[in-house]
């Protein structure tokens, strides 16, 4: 199913997702080069909430630019299959080779603000990440490897404490806690 149609069919979890879904759809329909960083105002990204097999732990990386523990993910860079982007980014950022989607369905939607920063010696202006999140699963027994140009640590955290590891209050309170609430709801329904 095409990404636009997946987002149109996505049922928002809360008001944040409802409003962000509308903005993402607007940008997908009206913005040029939305899947590329050349669109300096906003571009598509994919993130992953990676759990172990029994969903008691979450994999996070210590992101160098944000100086915080965070989920894994990255830019679409022209790719329109954002699930493939999320899977690739998890492998690149954590060293894990065996990671799979719990579902091909979108797990969460977010519009994320990115403050101006320096990356690889070049200034990047503040912009928006139009983000699609997927729920992925991997074995915590696989060896972890840092990606030094992006992170300075990769680790599994107990699900309940994963959000607290982030030093970014908005992510901790509005994104990571939401992702864990969704996991808890999935467990109730199983």
Q: What is the pTM of this model?
A: 0.93
Q: What is the pLDDT of residues 4-42, one digit of tens each?
A: 999 999 999 999 999 999 999 999 999 889 999 888 889
Report, as an integer, the average pLDDT of 154-171: 92
User: 3-189 architecture in CATH?
Assistant: Alpha-Beta Complex (3.90)
Across the chain, mean pLDDT equals 93
The residues, any chain, with a CB within 8 Å of residue 19's CB and separated by 6 or more, are none
How many residues does the structure list for the chain?
A: 190
Q: What is the pLDDT at residue 120?
A: 78
Contact by Cβ (8 Å): 13, 178:
yes
Q: Is the dihedral of CA 169, 21, 151, 102 positive or negative?
A: positive
Query: How many Å separate Cα 34 from the centre of its chain?
Result: 17
Residue 1: predicted pLDDT: 56
Report the distance separating Cα 101 and Cα 55, nearest Å.
Answer: 13
Does position 140 have pLDDT exceeding 80, yes or no? yes
Please check the confidence at residue 100 and state whether its pLDDT lies above 60. Answer: yes
**DSSP 8-state symbol, 120:** T
- 60 or 41: which leads in pLDDT: 60
Pairing of strands 151-158, 108-114: unpaired
Measured from the Cβ of residue 3, the count of other Cβ atoms closer than 10 Å reads: 19
Mean of the pLDDT values across residues 127-153? 94
Whole-number pLDDT of residue 65 = 81
Per-residue pLDDT of 108-134, as tens digits, reads 999 999 888 787 788 878 889 999 999
pLDDT of 41 reads 87
Higher per-residue pLDDT: 189 or 87: 87
């Amino acid at each position: 199913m095409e990404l636009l149609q997946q987002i149109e069919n996505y049922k928002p979890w809360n008001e944040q997702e409802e409003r962000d879904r509308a903005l993402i759809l607007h940008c997908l329909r009206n913005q040029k080069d939305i899947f590329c960083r050349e669109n300096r105002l906003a571009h598509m990204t994919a993130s992953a909430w990676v759990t172990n097999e029994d969903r008691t732990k979450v994999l996070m990386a210590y992101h160098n630019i944000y100086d915080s523990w965070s989920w894994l993910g990255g830019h679409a860079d022209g790719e329109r299959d954002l699930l493939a982007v999320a899977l690739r980014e998890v492998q690149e950022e954590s060293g894990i080779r065996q990671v799979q989607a719990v579902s091909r369905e979108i797990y969460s939607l977010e519009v994320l603000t990115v403050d101006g920063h320096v990356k690889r010696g070049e200034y990047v202006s503040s912009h928006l990440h139009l983000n699609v999140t997927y729920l992925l699963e991997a074995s915590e027994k696989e060896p972890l490897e840092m990606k030094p140009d992006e992170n300075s640590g990769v680790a599994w955290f107990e699900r309940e404490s994963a959000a607290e590891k982030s030093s970014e209050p908005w992510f901790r309170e509005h994104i990571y806690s939401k992702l864990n609430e969704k996991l808890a709801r999935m467990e109730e329904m199983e």
